[in-house]
Chain A
């Protein structure tokens, strides 16, 4: 058995070693090198990229990314909770309703962002309509701002919140709700005092599943925020492409990863639990 198991682990372990850890190691090394004259990296070793990371400009962007992600996560939880509750009580339609939440996830993420751009642009459907019926004279600035980024993130990751929430709400014993009602709690009080506290594991799991991708979001910020709503992921991309400052990009990447890991630790789930 031992031999067979070793052979089975080999391809996966090789992929992780060569295509995950080796690249990560290179990023660590690069973060301590100097910027090359024509891009890339060169000697000498230096920690100057790290001192630049703590420049107030980049810390401000990091901070922005954190609160935009936190706000998106909170909105997802607020929007997702009643939906999960409704699906859990929908009887025989539950699977269908849950699949309907997950279905957009199976279509392209890029297309979902484009769908909102189509609605929100200056020449998009909403502005065109409002101009045509003469409600406005100038197009409303609906796209390319932080609000649009948050909308895009919520739209993109809402299914990730609903799924774990549904899993916990669905397991709640209905007699607990009857008991609360019997003891004189109104439906709203029952939700707030009984259902929400008992759904804590689902809320935490969902928050993690939404917060982590939001924090590293690149595409949503790039397309819906325009150049105006920069998040930390966009800074990383920019350093590796346009600015060609790889050591600095590498240092920010590691900072971003550190924040993601820290948040995961705080929310308190371990690898073995998730896998």
Chain B
């Protein structure tokens, strides 16, 4: 039984990792077709020379940062308020937004922005993408931060009030510092989800706000291209570095 499970687990881990490792390995393949013909940095050079990709990366980072800041800040405050005393209306709304398929979120935001812009004379752009991402990231933040709050002893906050801190001071000087690891985890989740999003983004992005996932999507549809392999490796390494950094922040 134990041997069977161990054998099975190694097959399962292979299933999870082999496709990604193969993808990475072939980013160094000298040939455009999927047959190994020697080592090259060519595709990485191509990626770094491609200005459209650079613009897409900047767009994606700006969007992810904006959405992360807005969603983490408002989600943390909301989680704290819900933890203090239940807010069924908001809680159920967040739950509903979690259950809403991404494509439905996308088209409803598209319809909403189009309708609103008829009166506001604005256009789809980076800002609409940020707002759209905040909309679906909020529930993740509340979920993660509330989980952290539930493990926290409420007597710390009572002690602060007892020692003369107002409610705001108790939140600012005691609860918030203790909540820090949860907030970092929530922000990290927001950032990766926002950075990676294609479905909602492609619907609400303006003409000049193409993001990295939109470009990868277009390239993937066109066919096998070693540049996408190289780009995938770069993104994975960058996200990995971010997770390690966040882990450090969390342990502080």
Contact = CB atoms under 8 A, between A and B. Distances in A.
B135 interface: yes
B122 interface: no
B134 A118 contact: no
A50 to B, nearest CB: 16
B47 to A, nearest CB: 14
A122 B155 CA distance: 63
Contacts of B243: 106
A89 B88 CA distance: 39
B205 interface: no
A158 B93 contact: no
Contact of B134 (A9, A19, A187): A19
A275 interface: yes
Interface residues of B, number: 91
Given A13-B78, A215-B101, A110 B198 contact: yes
A5 B90 contact: no
Contact of A272 (B91, B109, B229): B91
A208 B196 CA distance: 22
A188 B100 CA distance: 39
A132 interface: yes
B77 A253 contact: no
A250 interface: yes
B54 interface: no
B138 A12 contact: yes
A197 B99 CA distance: 27
Contacts of A108: 195-196, 213, 216, 232, 235-236, 239
Interface stretch (A51-59, A78-86, A198-206): A78-86
Contacts, number: 252
A246 B99 contact: no
A86 B13 CA distance: 12
Q: Could you tell me the dominant secondary structure of chain B's interface residues?
A: helix
A125 B26 contact: yes
Contacts of B22: 115, 118-119, 125
Contacts of A121: 34, 223-224
Contact of A236 (B93, B107, B216, B240): B107
Nearest to A236: B103
B165 to A, nearest CB: 12
B107 A237 contact: yes
Interface string A18-46: 01111110110010000000001000000
Contacts of B102: 213, 216, 218, 233
Given A40-B114, A123-B34, A8 B78 contact: yes
B26 A19 contact: no
Contacts of A92: none
A249 to B, nearest CB: 6
A1 B84 contact: yes
A271 interface: yes
B33 A128 contact: yes
B119 interface: no
Nearest to B92: A271
A86 B8 contact: yes
A109 to B, nearest CB: 6
17 contacts: A5-B84, A8-B77, A9-B87, A11-B73, A15-B135, A16-B90, A79-B15, A106-B192, A111-B235, A115-B19, A121-B224, A216-B102, A218-B102, A237-B107, A240-B111, A257-B101, A275-B94
Given A9-B77, A271-B92, 6 more contacts: A12-B138, A108-B236, A115-B19, A118-B224, A218-B199, A274-B143
Nearest 8 Cβ contacts at the A-B interface: A216-B101, A12-B78, A11-B74, A271-B95, A23-B112, A23-B108, A19-B135, A187-B1
Interface of B: 1-2, 5-6, 8-9, 12-13, 15-17, 19-20, 22-23, 26, 33-35, 70-71, 73-75, 77-78, 80-82, 84-88, 90-112, 114-115, 131-132, 134-135, 138, 142-143, 146, 167-168, 171, 192, 195-196, 198-199, 203, 213, 216-217, 220-221, 223-224, 228-229, 232, 235-236, 239-240, 243
